Homo-oligomer: A and B are copies of this chain.
Amino acid sequence: MPTVTFLPAEITVEVPAGTLIHEAAIQAGIEELHLPCGAKGTCGQCLVEVVSGQSDSLGHTRLDAALADSHLVMACQTKVRDDLVVRLKTTRDAAMRVLGESHFLVSQEFLPEEDNLSPLYRTETLQVPLATVEEHYSDWQRLVRELCRDNGHVPVRAGLPVLRKLAAALRDEDGLVTVMLQEDETALHVLDVQAGRMPFIAVGLAIDIGTTTIAVQMISLHDGRVLAIRTAYNAQARRGADVISRIDYARTSERQAELRHLVLDTLNDMIDSMLTHSGVPGDAIRSVFIAANTTMVHLLLGLPPRYIREAPYVPTVSTMPTLTAGEVGLVINPQAIVAFAPGVGSYVGGDITAGLLCTELLTNHEETFLYLDIGTNGEIVLGNADWLVTCACSAGPAFEGAGIKCGMRATEGAIEFLEISDGGREVRYDVIGDGKPVGICGSGLICLLGELLVHGIVDQSGHFNDLDTERLVQQDNTRGFVLEWAANTGEERDLVITEPDIENLMRTKAAIYAACALILANVGLDWRSIARVYIAGGFGRYIQVEDAVLIGLLPDLPYEKFRYIGNASLTGAYCALLSAAHRRNLAALATRMTYLDLSSDPHYMDSYLAALFLPHTELGLFPSVALRLRSQESGARR
């Protein structure tokens, strides 16, 4: 049987000759190939590039004829003849590369089951009696009467867009209509109506708005399939790298409005790109679930963030009520429901509660867990099914690639792993997308710092040792280590890690470690009480726990206790978008968490300064690292 290989993922399947390419893609488990026209060969959304091999066109659409002289064929209109290599058009978009990262690193058991989804709405098909001359009930009255028959006598509500469609919908199929409903504690809301039994095209968005990075998944609400994903830098970052400077910037209402528009522009650009690529119409987006820290929610909605950073640090809203896309300013169906993960307070927001959905924190009654979200802020949750404490620390966005000379997000061109050898003369690395490197992402930075330490290129205070390698350079009065020379990079400049970069990374890891140590001390536990450490954040595709322990970012615990769960806020938003049970869990989590204010803890600064070393000033806390450094030293001496 011929084989079909799909690039860039290099997935190969064997299929009988005569199989359509899109059928081969389904067999290969490739989800990015969409057929909005229903495989009729009319929309051109399934175009793929034939790299090598022979295929046969069904050749009966106008589009097919137009493609005659190109390497492009429609996957739904082209049969496999012999071994074929094709490149998927949609995945060329670099942003698609992070699909592997976020989709999904959390255990399958936490994700909603495909055959048991409960999105923010439900649908019902009704037979509404036709009007008669004798009985003058309006269309709306007749619909309400039928809804109340099935749902009890609740108040029923609808907006003008639904009322505008109602008359035609009721008449098109003699009163048989399908309605989209949302029920809250007060009323039944009719979100949409259409004639007949057809299900609505219904797509949702799971959104994680980070201080530095925004991630959006477009999801089929019928089966939970991720149709597209985008990540982008939050355009607000130009107006302050972290939450505090962002709040300071927003001190006038004009600037507050500016920040609101910046984040809305970022979101709407991402959504627009997904809609364009997937062929999904914007009106099909029916619900959105947003996980974001409290400041990001305030800035998105135009709420003044000022009091978040003024004692007693109280936000306008912690648990934002459901809004519509129109109110928020998202350019999708203006009636789409926009729900928010509930926050705990000013510095522990919905991004954390959402992330906790990807853990055993609510279900495992025996063991104590530590949850670390390392983004621009570091947030920490400690607890189990009985109790939960949480705190936040200003980590800075270094592990998101920001504030690091050649740092970048975990997208195409990022070094995500590297090894140093030959006393610092050789560097081997892996690049996302396998092209030339253009920067280094979070996981790469952690790996790099560990390698620099164990190979004696930097000392425990993070300064370069004097070594005989041309990779050690002096630029603009700062010392640096060249990871790759300009000629071999995708951006034609040397990729260098500098001493200020290293200081930046050390400050970030020290802040996080110190906060963890302090929260443990506060509840009277030590590291050994922890059964599992969940690590969430946008480091990259994976994080080498070994490296993170080596630099003192993570505690020196048995490696099997760690779980890297990637962008858990986004995954949590995905879960809550699709599952009523997860939404109930979220609400329960938020009300149970106790917030500790580290900034008022007199021990914090001591704990932080002690951690500002590689791995830590108290090497006894890192026995495995101590052992490794000693063996490295003796190796070097040999």
Contacts and interface: CB of A to CB of B under 8 A. Distances in A.
Interface of A: 131-133, 136-141, 155, 157-160, 163-164, 166-168, 171, 185-187, 301-304, 306-307, 311-319, 321, 323, 327, 344-346, 595, 597, 600
A48 B483 CA distance: 81
Contact of A312 (B132, B307, B597): B132
Contact of A327 (B136, B155, B160): B160
Contacts of A132: 312
Contacts of A158: 321
Given A167-B304, A187-B186, A302-B164, A159 B314 contact: no
A444 to B, nearest CB: 38
Given A136-B314, A155-B186, A327-B160, A304 B168 contact: yes
- Scoring A167, A306, A313 by chain B CB atoms within 10 A of each residue's CB, the highest score goes to A167
22 contacts: A131-B314, A132-B312, A133-B312, A133-B597, A136-B312, A136-B595, A137-B314, A138-B315, A139-B316, A139-B317, A141-B318, A155-B185, A159-B327, A160-B301, A160-B302, A160-B303, A163-B316, A164-B302, A164-B303, A167-B303, A168-B304, A171-B307
A593 to B, nearest CB: 10
Contacts of A315: 138-139
A302 B307 CA distance: 42
Contacts of A304: 164, 167-168
A600 B346 CA distance: 68
Q: Is the interface of A mostly helix, strand, loop or mixed?
A: loop
A166 B311 CA distance: 17
A157 B324 CA distance: 14
A317 B597 contact: no
Q: Which 9 A-B pairs have the closest CB atoms?
A: A186-B186, A131-B314, A133-B312, A138-B318, A140-B317, A136-B345, A139-B316, A167-B316, A131-B312
Contact of A166 (B131, B166, B316): B316
A304 to B, nearest CB: 5
A138 B314 contact: yes
Contact of A316 (B138, B314, B317): B138
A316 B595 contact: no
Contacts of A316: 138-140, 163-164, 166-167
Nearest to A253: B164
Copies per complex of this chain: 2
Given A186-B186, A312-B133, A317 B164 contact: no
A163 B317 contact: yes
A587 B542 CA distance: 64
Nearest to A156: B321
A598 to B, nearest CB: 13
A409 to B, nearest CB: 30
A601 to B, nearest CB: 13
A348 to B, nearest CB: 10
Contact of A321 (B157, B167, B323): B157
Contact of A139 (B138, B168, B302, B314): B314
Nearest to A161: B302
Contacts of A160: 301-303, 323, 327
A216 B558 CA distance: 77
Nearest to A311: B133
Nearest to A346: B136
A108 to B, nearest CB: 35
Given A138-B315, A167-B306, 15 more contacts: A133-B311, A133-B312, A136-B312, A136-B345, A136-B346, A138-B316, A138-B317, A138-B318, A140-B317, A141-B318, A160-B323, A163-B301, A163-B316, A163-B317, A167-B303
A335 to B, nearest CB: 11
Contacts of A138: 314-319, 345
A345 B163 CA distance: 16
Contacts of A327: 159-160
Nearest to A597: B133
- Scoring A131, A155, A166, A317 by chain B CB atoms within 10 A of each residue's CB, the highest score goes to A317
A562 B318 CA distance: 63
A303 B317 CA distance: 36
A307 B133 contact: no
A459 to B, nearest CB: 41
Nearest to A138: B318
Contacts of A166: 316
Contacts of A307: 139, 167, 171
A614 B311 CA distance: 84
A19 B312 CA distance: 55
A187 B186 CA distance: 7
B303 A163 contact: yes
A597 B134 CA distance: 10
Contacts of A318: 136, 138, 140-141
Contacts of A185: 155
A260 B155 CA distance: 28
